[in-house]
């Protein structure tokens, strides 16, 4: 497998702004995931807007379509009250046969529990929040939460990668207690897009003091040569909940991912971090969609197109 870190590297400074955050300053951001529909030639963007914790968190999400992957027009939107949520998190919309599937993660109101729901429609503008149903509930798997889905279609299967709590807890060595990891990534598979009976851990934190030592959230996966390349968010403290950094991992089968060794994040902003990188392959090109920290501390959603 050729070196993806070099072949796929892009300059986040050169990205085109796709969506701006709902406000200026730390805690305001906008981000999302994109799917390319080869049938219609359109790009589908699910994005959510975020405000500071004291101002309501993730209050609105939307679907937008584009013919070129750069200029997007909203066709659907919803707010957190429609989901009965404290906060709307990441989601992903894909075409599956003659159906459109929209997976949305959110924190249920009055709890600290994230789950992933599914809505179905015959066209991207036709989703109805009232028809949603939960397809990945953390209690079914004995975990505290599950969120931030990224979906791949592999022949007749739907592969969903999602963030979950780590398996390993804090470690004790005499009188010294080492902090546990903060998240991990699982893969769930389905033959119909609506029933995911199992989850499998595919990417976990190394539990060291590196920049990515205690986080392991895969944000997107693309085919690369005879295997796969993934783009993940890493971090080492709770503070990194809002300012994670981007790394690259590889896998021969889409099941077990290994980090590409980097002493520093793969790409960064001059004013902070690049995170939630969503890579989309379209013929010989790769579109990178990502949250980019700007000078005032807020996060823009940008796109950068490269030919590896």
Q: Is the dihedral of CA 53, 111, 239, 88 positive or negative?
A: negative
Average pLDDT, the chain: 96
Which range (44-48, 88-92, 117-121, 237-241) has the least confidence?
237-241
Q: Would the pTM count as exceeding 0.95?
A: yes
The pLDDT confidence band at residue 40, using thresholds 50, 70 and 90, is very high
Residue 157, phi-psi category: left (phi > 0), alpha (psi -120 to 50), beta (remainder):
beta
Give pLDDT, residue 239. 81
Give pLDDT, residue 129. 98
Q: Give me the residue label for tokens 């939107």.
A: 77
Rounded distance, CA 96 to CA 191, Å?
11
Q: How far apart are the first and last CA of the chain?
A: 14
Percent of the chain with pLDDT over 90: 92
157-214 confidence digits (pLDDT tens): 999 999 999 998 898 999 999 999 999 999 999 999 999 999 999 999 999 999 999 9
Domains of the chain: 14-306 (2.115.10.20)
**Residue 22: Cβ-neighbour burial (10 angstroms; 0-12, 13-18, 19+):** middle
Q: Which of 225, 297, 234 is nearest to 8 (CA)?
A: 225
């Amino acid at each position: 497998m050729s070196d993806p870190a070099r072949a796929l590297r892009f300059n986040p400074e050169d990205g085109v702004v796709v969506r701006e955050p709902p406000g200026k300053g730390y805690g305001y951001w906008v981000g999302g995931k994109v799917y390319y529909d080869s049938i219609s030639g359109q790009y589908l963007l699910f994005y959510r807007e975020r405000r500071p914790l004291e101002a309501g968190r993730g209050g609105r999400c939307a679907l937008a379509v584009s013919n070129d992957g750069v200029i997007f027009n909203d066709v659907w939107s919803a707010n957190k009250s429609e989901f009965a949520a404290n906060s709307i998190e990441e989601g992903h919309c894909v075409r599956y046969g003659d159906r459109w599937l929209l997976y949305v993660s959110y924190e249920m109101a009055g709890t600290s529990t994230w789950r992933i729901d599914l809505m179905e429609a015959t066209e991207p503008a036709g989703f109805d929040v009232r028809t949603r149903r939960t397809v990945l509930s953390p209690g079914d798997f004995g975990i505290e939460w599950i969120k931030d889905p990224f979906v791949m279609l592999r022949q007749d299967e739907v592969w969903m990668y999602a963030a979950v709590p780590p398996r390993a807890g804090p470690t004790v060595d005499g009188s010294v207690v080492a902090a546990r990891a903060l998240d991990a990534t699982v893969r769930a598979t389905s033959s119909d897009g609506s029933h995911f009976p199992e989850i499998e851990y595919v990417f976990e934190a190394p539990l060291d003091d590196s920049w990515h030592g205690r986080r392991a959230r895969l944000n997107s996966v693309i085919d690369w040569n005879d295997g796969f390349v993934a783009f993940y968010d890493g971090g080492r403290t709770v503070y990194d909940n809002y300012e994670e950094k981007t790394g690259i991992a590889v896998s021969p089968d889409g099941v077990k991912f290994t980090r590409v060794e980097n002493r520093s994040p793969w790409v960064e902003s001059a004013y902070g971090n690049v995170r939630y990188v969503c890579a989309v392959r379209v013929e010989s090109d790769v579109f990178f969609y990502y949250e980019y920290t700007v000078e005032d501390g807020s996060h823009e959603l940008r796109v950068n197109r490269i030919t590896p």
